[in-house]
């Protein structure tokens, strides 16, 4: 009788673990960092990582966005050029963007270098300079109940290859998609599967005994 009770307990454990694996992943993060990969910079292989975008939940309604370019690359700013395009499941206006001056804010802007399409675009980000480039840029998006997950989707910026301390003639778009969920790593799933197989073997041995 004891062996049967033990077997039922282990089988129940296996069943619960199986339900865990089949359940959709849920993400709740205060910070997410994603790679920016080349889309249309000439002379640079597509997919080359040229920088990162970090999303920080800084308040109940605010997400801070920090773009950092790798050495040798810059963010195209100044003049009438430059774009920071992203997707938001919350309707935004230019008044929801702070910490950055820019020429205009556009919605339903279409595609850039097959990195979109996009719902929002900060056009002409500026630091009071003529057409030039910067290696890092930070701004904050504020809207009612805005979360990092609301900004999930495609993200792209107008970037450049630095030349002489600023943007040279080689400009184009770089970007990546923001993960909307956290998926268990393959190694974690493998270890769990191995453990479940071991438990199943133990149950069979106990029941035979």
183-188 long-range contacts, CB within 8 A, separation 24+: 183/25, 184/25
173, 118 contact by CB (below 8 A): no
37, 176 contact by CB (below 8 A): yes
Encoded tokens for 12? 């129940």
**pTM (two decimals):** 0.70
Q: What is the pLDDT of residues 59-110, one digit of tens each?
A: 999 999 999 999 999 998 876 568 999 999 999 999 999 999 898 999 988 8
Q: What is the pLDDT of residues 131-152, one digit of tens each?
A: 578 899 999 999 999 999 998 6
């Amino acid at each position: 009788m004891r062996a049967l009770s033990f077997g039922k307990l282990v089988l129940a454990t296996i069943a619960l673990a199986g339900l865990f694996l089949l359940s959709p992943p849920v993400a709740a993060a205060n910070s997410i960092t994603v790679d920016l990969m080349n889309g249309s910079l000439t002379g640079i292989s597509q997919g080359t990582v040229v920088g990162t975008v970090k999303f920080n939940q800084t308040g109940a309604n605010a997400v801070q966005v920090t773009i950092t370019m790798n050495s040798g690359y810059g963010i195209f700013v100044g003049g009438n050029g430059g774009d920071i395009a992203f997707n938001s499941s919350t309707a935004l206006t230019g008044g929801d963007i702070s910490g950055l001056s820019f020429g205009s804010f556009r919605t339903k802007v279409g595609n850039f270098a097959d990195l979109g399409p996009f719902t929002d675009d900060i056009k002409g980000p500026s630091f009071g300079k003529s057409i030039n480039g910067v290696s890092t840029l930070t701004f904050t998006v504020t809207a009612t109940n805005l979360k990092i997950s609301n900004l999930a989707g495609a993200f792209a910026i107008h970037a450049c290859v630095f030349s002489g301390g600023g943007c040279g003639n080689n400009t184009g778009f770089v970007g990546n998609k923001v993960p909307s969920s956290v998926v268990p790593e393959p190694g974690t799933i493998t270890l769990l599967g191995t453990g479940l197989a071991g438990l199943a073997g133990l149950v069979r041995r106990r029941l035979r005994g």
